[in-house]
Amino acid sequence: MTYVPNNYSHVFTLNFDPKKARIKSKFIGKKIYILHNVPDFNKRAPDWEKGIFKGLKSLLDHFDDYFNGDDFTLIFNNSEKRYSINGESSAVFISLKKWFDFEYTIERITKNYKISKYYFDLSHECKLEGIKNYFSDKDPDDIIPHIDQSIYSIVEKMLLEFDSLSKNEQNTMLKTFEESKPARLILKKYGKLNKNSVEVQVKSLANNADKITPAQVFGLVNEISKSKISNKVSKKFSQLPVNFQSEFIKNTSQEAKYTALVSELESSLKSFKKLIKERYSSKQKNERQIHKFLASNYWLLGIEYYNQIIKTDINKDGEKTKETSHSDWHIYPDFEIYRLNGAVEKCVVIEIEEANDKIFNLDGTFSKSALDGLYQSITYSIYHTIKRKRITQGIAILGYTKKLTAKQEKDLEKLNFMLPCVKIMTYNDLINNAQNTIDFVNKQLSKNK
């Protein structure tokens, strides 16, 4: 049921052209409430009725993501706080004055960077970063370092397209660029460089790539691999954007790709084994460390989830993401994996428990931890099946054992058979499945030799 405040002075209904306002069609007819104490509302109302509303699209999209596509009520007030959210009623209260002040500042910053036709890209970047800062209680000016970094990719685009432009277009672009803030940033960064600087030498190497022979490339790479900086170079490369790394690897041989993949998987599995053994030996409960590791090593959850949509409640930095939060049922699974099979949407919901949790009690019965994990998996499965109409499987992962007895393995098998939509897995299962994946790739490699 939609929440309706009892002290509003006006209801603003979104009934303008979605294409002109650039909002999703699902929001047409949505009601926005304005409370009695909002100043100067009547001055803004005529513009609002025409769809002229600063940052409305950003707000709607932000809370559409926040509430995972569920309905929410947007309410403007005159609070000193930027915003507040009532999770139970899905009501969002936003200070109108603070929102407009923030939006105008973002717009001013964006105009400062204006570069011809690339303005839209940068403006979009500003708005995305700006709304994150608003709801993180940051200042509008905090987007400036982020935008400064984005400038360089825009300059790269300009340089790539420059030669294909007409003379007049080139002159216009140069004039616009010379008078812009990006030009000042570039000159400040590169203007003082001498010919012996690292930046100049790397740029020179890139510019003369066509003239370098394979023998010279081999010599260069060989020197790096034998030097003390080899590990540092590898580490720096691993920190580059994934899409850049993949483009680079495309130009290597298939066998080299497989070898690099196996090395990476083995390193990942080795670190995971170490972490699980540490958690198994610990007397404290802290599955967040395991969750954080799996968030940056998704393949360990199961290679069958490759190329699927994976959402996680905790990211690789150990921070809450709210990606899997469902406020209507007050649940937040650890992982949600979405798989499309024709017209049928499937979902796998995974709950992570501690490696030092027992699966069985001393008397052979299932432990409270195992049953709690199973209960949570059942709850999540019911939610997605009933509420979201998805075919769902729930998985609870807990416990690490050197070896289960034959009876324990049989009991676990019976439990998983009894509840086909949910199952319990151990960290031993994850490790064994991961090792099987590596063994398979290694076998394929040895066939090709």
* Boundary (domain end) residue, out of 78, 112, 146: 112
On whether residue 24 sits in a domain, the answer given is: yes
Q: Per residue in 382-399, is it b (16+ CB within 10 Å) or e — as a string?
A: bbbbeeeebebbbbbbbb
Task: Return the top range by mean pLDDT from 52-56, 293-297, 416-420.
Answer: 293-297
Q: How far is CA 322 from CA 313, 330, 332, 338, 352, in A?
A: 6, 12, 8, 16, 16
Instruction: Out of 106-115, 287-296, 414-423, pick the least confident.
Output: 106-115
Give every CB contact of residue 136 below 8 A, 6+ residues apart in sequence: none
On whether residue 145 sits in a domain, the answer given is: no
Structural tokens at position 140? 């509008």
The pLDDT value recorded for residue 335 is 94
The pLDDT value recorded for residue 91 is 92
Contact 310, 298 (CB under 8 A): yes
On whether residue 198 sits in a domain, the answer given is: no
On whether residue 171 sits in a domain, the answer given is: no
Structural tokens at position 265? 């998987």
**Overall average pLDDT of the 338-355 stretch:** 81
pLDDT confidence band for 124 (50 / 70 / 90):
low
**Overall average pLDDT of the 238-245 stretch:** 71
On whether residue 157 sits in a domain, the answer given is: no
Helices in 135-178 by DSSP H: which ranges? 144-162, 167-178
CA torsion angle 131 135 138 143 (round to 10): -20
**Overall average pLDDT of the 247-265 stretch:** 71
pLDDT surpassing 70 at residue 341: no
Q: How far is CA 5 from the centre of its chain?
A: 34
Percentage of the chain exceeding pLDDT 90: 27
pLDDT confidence band for 181 (50 / 70 / 90):
low
On whether residue 301 sits in a domain, the answer given is: yes
Contact 32, 91 (CB under 8 A): no
The pLDDT value recorded for residue 410 is 92
Higher pLDDT, 298 or 116: 298
Average pLDDT of the residues of the chain: 79
Percentage of the chain exceeding pLDDT 70: 69
- Rounded to whole angstroms, the Cα distance separating 257 from 252 reads 7
pTM greater than 0.85: no
* Boundary (domain end) residue, out of 54, 79, 112: 112
- Rounded to whole angstroms, the Cα distance separating 51 from 330 reads 34
The pLDDT value recorded for residue 62 is 87
* Boundary (domain end) residue, out of 112, 131, 152: 112
The pLDDT value recorded for residue 143 is 72
| Structural domain of 34 | 8-112
What are the strands, taking DSSP E only, across 36-117?
A: 73-77, 83-86, 91-95
On whether residue 127 sits in a domain, the answer given is: no
The pLDDT value recorded for residue 213 is 76
pLDDT surpassing 90 at residue 104: no
The pLDDT value recorded for residue 332 is 92
Single out the residue of 356, 378, 358, 381 nearest to residue 369, CA to CA. Answer: 358
Single out the residue of 186, 187, 296 nearest to residue 239, CA to CA. Answer: 296
The pLDDT value recorded for residue 20 is 65
Helix (H) or strand (E) holding 395: strand 391-397
Domain CATH number, residue 369: 3.40.91
The pLDDT value recorded for residue 324 is 94
**Number of domains the chain is built from:** 2
**Overall average pLDDT of the 293-308 stretch:** 87
pLDDT surpassing 60 at residue 259: yes
Name residue 423's amino acid: K
On whether residue 149 sits in a domain, the answer given is: no
**Overall average pLDDT of the 429-444 stretch:** 88
3-21: per-residue pLDDT in tens? 899 888 888 888 777 666 6
Instruction: Out of 92-101, 200-209, 253-262, pick the least confident.
Output: 200-209
